[in-house]
Amino acid sequence: GNSVTQMEGPVTLSEEAFLTINCTYTATGYPSLFWYVQYPGEGLQLLLKATKADDKGSNKGFEATYRKETTSFHLEKGSVQVSDSAVYFCALLDNYGQNFVFGPGTRLSVLP
Amino acid sequence: DTEVTQTPKHLVMGMTNKKSLKCEQHMGHRAMYWYKQKAKKPPELMFVYSYEKLSINESVPSRFSPECPNSSLLNLHLHALQPEDSALYLCASSQEPNYGYTFGSGTRLTVV
């Protein structure tokens, strides 16, 4: 079946540090890939997405590139802020558009 | 309006109570979802409504009863819940899953 694996953390960084959160997936066909962010006490917000190989999703300084050869969709940001502290979920949607699978989430804490 | 609104935000109920969670969206999205999220875990899909018809029920116990009165509203009726049902219940909607889901802020349910 489809699955998503990501580093669970917690990840603790200082403000302005470079961020990478690894995400790899297992799926048949060509899934769409997503990053969602959940701030404390809130629901999930779509951060960025990519629907085909080599697509790069970007939003609010975050980027992720759909790498089919390594089945990965790593999240990066060049300079994190305290306000980026949240839980980040990598997710895939299978190519039938029926099955949305979330990774376990990575908790990020950014210290001033 | 680009939001999914969930009410109430917090709910405490006894094991013999009957209560309902409400979810509303006015984005014209054709699909609506209920997810359950335990602490430090990713959301788990419970139900999917597509064009106001239940299309997916992920083997959820009958003490959870979904209802979709119209294309903008989604309810989750709760009856005879157990303490282990305490969780954050998230509603989401989408026009096309490949575009991503829009999540509400959730209802934090505590069963005592």
pLDDT digits (tens, 9 = 90+) for B6-25: 999 999 999 999 999 999 99
Tell me the chain A residues in contact with residue B56 when contact means C-beta distances shorter than 8 Å: 98
Structure tokens that stand for A80 in this block: 């994190």
CA B48, CA B38: separation in Å to the nearest integer?
19
Residue B33 backbone class (left: φ over 0; alpha: ψ -120 to 50; beta: rest): beta
Mean of per-residue pLDDT scores for chain A: 93
Q: Is the pLDDT at A99 greater than 80, yes or no? A: no
Q: Are A45 and A89 a contacting pair, CB within 8 Å?
A: no
Q: Are A46 and B99 a contacting pair, CB within 8 Å?
A: no
Q: Is the pLDDT at B98 greater than 90, yes or no? A: no
* pLDDT given for residue A18 in this prediction: 98
* pLDDT given for residue A96 in this prediction: 73
Q: What number is the average pLDDT over the span B74-103?
A: 93
CA B12, CA B97: separation in Å to the nearest integer?
32
Is A102 in contact with B104 (Cβ distance < 8 A)?
A: no
Q: What number is the average pLDDT over the span A58-84?
A: 97
Quick one: CA dihedral B23, A100, A13, A75, positive or negative?
A: negative
Residue of B nearest to A105 (CA): B42
Residues in CB range of B109: below 8 A, 6 or more apart: B11, B12, B13, B21, B78, B81, B85, B86, B87, B88, B89
CA A21, CA A73: separation in Å to the nearest integer?
9
* pLDDT given for residue A53 in this prediction: 93
Is A105 in contact with B42 (Cβ distance < 8 A)?
A: yes
For chains A and B, what is the number of CB pairs under 8 angstroms?
47
| pLDDT, tens only, B37-52 | 999 899 999 999 999 9
Name the band, by pLDDT with cuts 50, 70 and 90, for residue A67.
Answer: very high
**% of chain A beyond a pLDDT of 70:** 99
Specify burial of residue A54 (Cβ count, 10 A radius: 0-12, 13-18, 19+).
Answer: exposed
